[in-house]
Chain A
Amino acid sequence: MSSFKEFKIKWGMAIDLDKCTGCGACMVACQAENNIAPQPDASNKLKSLNWLVVYELTNGKPFPEHEVAYLPRPCMQCGKPSCVSVCPVIATDKNEEGGIVSQVYPRCIGCRYCMASCPYHARYFNWFDPTWPEGMDKTLTPDVSVRPRGVVEKCSFCHHRFMQAKDKARVEGRDPNALNDGDYITSCTEACPNGAIVFGDVNNPAHKVHDLVKGKYAFRLLERLGTDPQVYYISRREWVRRLGDNYLENEKVKG
């Protein structure tokens, strides 16, 4: 594994699973914001494009102990991304201040090695040509490029919003590398009706997310594999935290 850069700014998310109702507003917002084409037949979920997917978790117990939780899964923007070092053509990289893992669509050859490497299934392939029903092309977000058939794509933490926030800061005479909390948030964060998703710079104590990720009940998915994700989850329920990673029978759950 090659080494990766450390960044002064680290954009991250804290998703409170105890607040998430699984409404799917984040998925819809993501779909619309990032120009994900509507599919004529999305019945095969393994061939449908969703940068963000909400998983349903259960404690596996029968009623009345039965409990569910919903887990929105964007790209984890890993600190040590398994996808970056494997890409043969550097179509994906972790090289920009903020630590967002990029995806360069015109560079991608569509080998799908990055998809094989990602244990979170955060990467999606364009199996077909994206098509926009007449009139729907007018809903496209102008700052987000559409992708052709045959390339891989994934959540970019709404990178275009990051660029816009930096531009705004420059125009207002502020330092674009010292954005205030809330200057830049992703569309899923904005759409969540319960405020379950909090987005910001996890390295900046002035950002709310900074404290949230240090909380007792914060955890990351598959932490023991060493991917070092920038997306954190919070749950006060032990069984939910236990589903965040693989544990052997005798191992204690974190938090």
Chain B
Amino acid sequence: MDKNYDLPIDAALFPEGCTRCSLSKFLVWITIVMAVFGWGLYAAYRVLAEGLGVTGLDDYFGFGLWITFDLAVIALGAGAFFTGLLRYILNIDPLKNIINLTVIVGFLCYSGAMLVLVLDVGQPLRAWFGYWHANVHSMLTEVIFCITCYLLVLIIEYVPLILEQKQLNRNKLVHAIAHNFHLMMPLFAGIGAFLSTFHQGSLGGMYGVLFARPYIARDGFFIWPWTFFLYVLSAVGSGPVFTVLVCTIMEKMTGKQLVSWEIKSLMGKIAGTMLTVYMVFKLADTWAWANDILPRSGLTFDQVFYGWIYGKWLLWAELFACGVLPAIILIIPSTRNNRTLFYTAAILDCIGVTINRYVMTVQALAAPVMPFDSWETYAPNWAEWGASAMIMAYAALVLSLSYRYLPVFPQEVKLNK
């Protein structure tokens, strides 16, 4: 057979029937990504070598950008478990066209969060104590257990996709393993849904149980504060559209259509439905917090906001501009199928959940509880931004390699004929 020398040099590795840019163009992109990664790696080195003193964190803000980043990406990565649940357990078949991307995005969000945690804990070499000396009363213990177990599940879900790489899959054993992994996928989707629900919840519970911090303290049901349930709902209300946004960014960068509009719209419908349910409970929770928890603690609504940096605009933006508004757009078919409105709603939805994670992490610590204490403000410094950028670069790298060499998008060939 004659060779086609016009194809990129690594064309034999591309998914069946798919075209990709030249290797040199790809390498230019990877170089840019690696430059950002290198900056973050330097920040990570400084943190590990000199201690957390090089960050902008302090004794008032023990949690800052990294924990906000972790909570936000874990919420946005919820597309993986929720789509997996709907695809494999509830058999919503069309989702097979985006399930691979949700798995990769989920894997990146969780592994990225864990990489940041390695930097964020003061004694990373003792991280295993979470298992060895587990405190069963701590929500953080539940988070440690569920996140690590769920990352294993995501790896198991990602492996068959790697094994389906065109050249690898020619090996009979690899082919058989990949096939058998697929057969077991409903089991892992179920385990993933269970684990992910619990740790999304326990991340929220982590804050709700802080009964001496009125800004975040919540009552609840049995051992679970209401934030437990709110975090699960907000994650499934934003995760699916985050995956769609990642997909759309990839489409813009590659100039190809990777997932059909119907699938994106379906993901929007799923997120919109869950976001609507979430907003009902979130508004009720906010009302109860302002009218019960705060006065019970001797505080007024006005006292828990400060200036512009921790102003009420954050709450209104989270609840209405980035909560109710996207929920309405995504739930009504006519607005959902208007692409401009759809993408606007998706972006607002993701911003809303990020604001929520930010205020629950940072504003909660900024708000003074002792009457003679003062408001303090927090701004992350270069080391924290650098390490966060490293995770984004890592995600970009894995997504780029996956797109180039793995059969991520089943509809790609058909949509680009």
Contacts and interface: CB of A to CB of B under 8 A. Distances in A.
B417 interface: no
Interface in B205-233: 206, 209-214
B133 A89 contact: yes
Interface in A196-255: 221-222, 224-227, 242-248, 251
Contacts of B137: 2, 85-86
B72 to A, nearest CB: 17
A85 B107 CA distance: 30
B141 A124 contact: no
A87 B135 CA distance: 7
B122 A150 contact: yes
A254 to B, nearest CB: 11
A245 B211 contact: no
Contacts of B122: 108-112, 125-126, 149-152
B63 A107 contact: no
User: Which bucket holds chain A's interface residue count?
Assistant: 35 or more
Interface string A1-41: 11000000000000000000000000000000000000000
Contacts of A222: 212, 369-370
Interface stretch (B98-106, B191-199, B293-301): B293-301
B144 interface: yes
A117 B213 CA distance: 7
B59 interface: yes
Contacts of B134: 88-90
B281 interface: no
B62 A125 contact: yes
Contacts of A148: 123
A82 B211 contact: yes
Contact of A47 (B58, B130, B212, B364): B58
A48 B370 CA distance: 19
Contacts of B5: none
Contact of A246 (B51, B57, B299): B299
A106 to B, nearest CB: 9
Contacts of A88: 129-130, 134-135, 138, 140-141, 143-144
B210 A107 contact: no
B140 A115 contact: no
A244 B369 CA distance: 10
A89 B62 contact: no
> Which are the 9 A-B pairs with shortest beta-carbon distances?
A110-B122, A150-B122, A246-B298, A112-B62, A127-B53, A119-B369, A46-B58, A88-B140, A2-B137
28 contacts: A1-B209, A46-B59, A82-B211, A82-B213, A85-B138, A87-B135, A88-B129, A88-B135, A88-B141, A90-B135, A108-B122, A109-B129, A109-B130, A111-B120, A111-B122, A115-B59, A116-B62, A123-B59, A125-B122, A126-B51, A127-B58, A128-B50, A128-B51, A129-B51, A149-B122, A150-B52, A227-B212, A246-B369
Interface of A: 1-2, 44, 46-47, 55, 57, 71, 82, 85-91, 107-113, 115-121, 123-129, 148-152, 221-222, 224-227, 242-248, 251
